[in-house]
Each structure stands twice: as C-alpha cells, then as structure tokens.
Amino acid sequence: MNILLLGYGKLGKIIGEIAESRGHRITGKINLENRQDLDQINPEDVDAIIEFSQPESAFENIFWGLKRGIPVVSGTTGWLDQRAEVEKMTIESEGAFFYASNFSIGVNILFKVNAFLAKLMNETTEYNIAIEEIHHTEKKDAPSGTAITLAEGIIENLDSKDSWNLSGQSPDSEQTIPITSKRIDPAPGTHIIKYSSDIDTIELIHTAHSRKGFALGAVLVAEWIKEKKGVFSMDDFLSF
C-alpha cells in the first residue's frame, strides 16, 4: 500500500523504514520544513496517512487527509481539545480516523492492567496514587498522552478519583491524581503508576527500549484501517 507520512522526525523515520520493510511505498515525507509540498501530493496515490507530527500541526494535517477521503492514523498528542471536531468530520465525510496515545502493544496491555488494578482498589482507602512519565527532551507536550490515558483509566474505575493534574501546576487534592513529567535524553518512554501506603508500595511500570514498538504498531494499524470507515481506537484494533 501507499503511505503518506505527515511528521518525519525520529519516530516518522522509523515508521517509514518499517513500512518499507513490510513492502509498502512511502509516497511523501512531510514535516514543518517542507509543509508546502503537501498540496503537491496526489490523494489518489495515497492509501493511508500516518500522522506523527507536532501538536500545533496535527489538526490541520488530519483534516487535510479526511477532506480528501484518505484514512488517517494519528499518534500526535497535545491537540485533543479539537478531537470532537475531527470525529464529527470523519462521520460526516464517511471517512476513517484512528487515534491512539500510544501504539505499543505492551503499553496497551498496561492500559488494561491499570484499569483492572484501579477497580480492585475500590476495596481499600490505604493507598495514595501517583503517575510518573519520562520522555526525551524533544517531546513538547506534558504530561504525555499515555500518562493522561493511564490517569483516565484510573478515574473511570476508581470511585475516589475524579481528575488529574500536572504536579506543580495546581494544588493536589484527595480526588486528584498527580502526574510528574520528566524530560531526559535519550529515554523513548517510561510510565510508572504507583500506589503507596504505610504498609507497602505497588507499582506498574512500562519502559520502552526503543521507538520501534510504537512505529510497528502504527504501520499495522495503517494496514488494518485501509478499507474501513468510522472512528477507531486501539480497543477496536486489538482483540484483548
């Protein structure tokens, strides 16, 4: 299939390499430096878009593809205040849009375990909850989309929590989950969910050793979404 890459940083380059290794053709590699070349792309020569750009570019990139009837797979975080508009456009245009805060299979297993543990924690009030995430210094948004997804998974399943905040930006409360964001090179991504009490500590940890897991997941989703219509997530893609 023919794949257009919108966003060609470190992760975009790995996505391109994996896509080509699986027999796909990259029809364009667009980033901020050559954004003007996007309008020279022939939509009929694109089967799917993989969009890993910047928060300020994501909305425009996604709309560009949807308006031209091209399925869009996006992993960019930091723009989700406009997500409802994208999903509305997808439905109205009978297009296809897939968003995930993280395309790693391992991280998506972590999401499931995180939600299950939060549900179990309704049986006790002894634990304080905190989330920590570590990424490379080029990641602009904080907290990460993955950390936010983890916090939302806790909030949905643990009655005592109703919100999250970025540590240091607003006062903590008993109902709030604090998220600490660190930017340290060359870390591709570590996420820690910690339940602490006077008796013991329970931790869920996922550490990415490279960006390959994220990149492969995005390519697999692009292969999967090619003939589909609608708004999708990793829950639709994965069978667990």
- 194 CB contacts (<8 Å, ≥6 apart)? 129, 130, 131, 132, 201, 202, 203
Does 209 participate in catalysis according to the annotation?
A: no
Catalytic residue among 24, 135, 161, 206: 135
Backbone angles phi, psi at 52, to 5 degrees: -130, 80
Dihedral of alpha carbons 21, 210, 183, 170, sign: positive
Does 136 participate in catalysis according to the annotation?
A: no
Distance of CA 116 to the CA centre of its chain: 20
The closest alpha carbon to 208, from 117, 108, 113, 122, belongs to 108
Q: Are residues 115 and 148 in contact, defined by beta-carbon separation less than 8 angstroms?
A: no
Q: Are residues 6 and 30 in contact, defined by beta-carbon separation less than 8 angstroms?
A: yes
CA 203-205-206 angle, 5° bins: 165
3-class DSSP state of 202: strand
Residue in the structure block whose two tokens are 């509305």? 88
Backbone angles phi, psi at 95, to 5 degrees: -100, -160
Catalytic residue among 139, 194, 212, 229: 139
Q: Annotated catalytic sites, by residue?
A: 135, 139
